[in-house]
Structure formats: structure tokens, C-alpha cells
Structure 1
Amino acid sequence: MATVYLVRHGQASFGKENYDQLSKRGWEQGKMLGRWLADKVEPGAIFGGNLKRHR
């Protein structure tokens, strides 16, 4: 049976001139999630949005 992981981007830069980027905290959240997933998941496919903060 397949497993689907739904992951939202980290914290965006709310209230800043360019909201479409991650805040410092958002970058840290992404790094933490990446480290956690690295040795647990081998994805068959990855889908993402087209905004900068999604990438």
C-alpha cells in the first residue's frame, strides 16, 4: 500500500515586502523536515507548487 505525505512549506515572510519567500524560521523548519525524512522515505514521486516558497 502506498503512503502519501502532504507537507506544507515552512513559515513564509508574513508582513514583509516579498511574502513569497521563507522566513529564517521557515528555512529551519524545512531543514529539520528534510533531515527527518532523509533516512525514512524514498519517494516514488514528488509534486510541488510553482511559488518560490514551495521550492
Structure 2
Amino acid sequence: MSKILECSKVDPSSGCQYVVRGNTEEEVLQNAAVHAQQHGIRQMTPELMQRVKQNIHDE
């Protein structure tokens, strides 16, 4: 079962409706890092990583 991460769940104030998808949590994390660059995020802080991981769920 694939996994998803809704950008708006990580940062509701962004208004971003992008959905990151992957077959594994690791793949979602890699894809999320690429998407984060569109928001000007170049490095994941521990706090941001925690919010991301908490919001990954099965599709």
C-alpha cells in the first residue's frame, strides 16, 4: 500500500495542496524533501522532520 503526505497537514499556513506520494515512508521523505525546496526549505530541522513523519499515512 502506498503512503502519502499532504503538505497542508505539515504547515497549514502554507495553503499548499500538494500531496507527496511514495511506496515507502523513506520514499515519501525523499519526495517531501524535493517538494520542500519549492517552499524555500533547504534543510530539514528535527522539528520539521517530526511533523512530516507524524503526517505520513497509508493512501
TM over 0.5: no
TM-score calculated relative to the size of structure 2: 0.30
| Higher CA-based Rg | 1
TM-score calculated relative to the size of structure 1: 0.32
The structure that is helix-richer by fraction is 2
Instruction: Pick 1 or 2: higher relative contact order, CA cutoff 8 A, min separation 6.
Output: 2
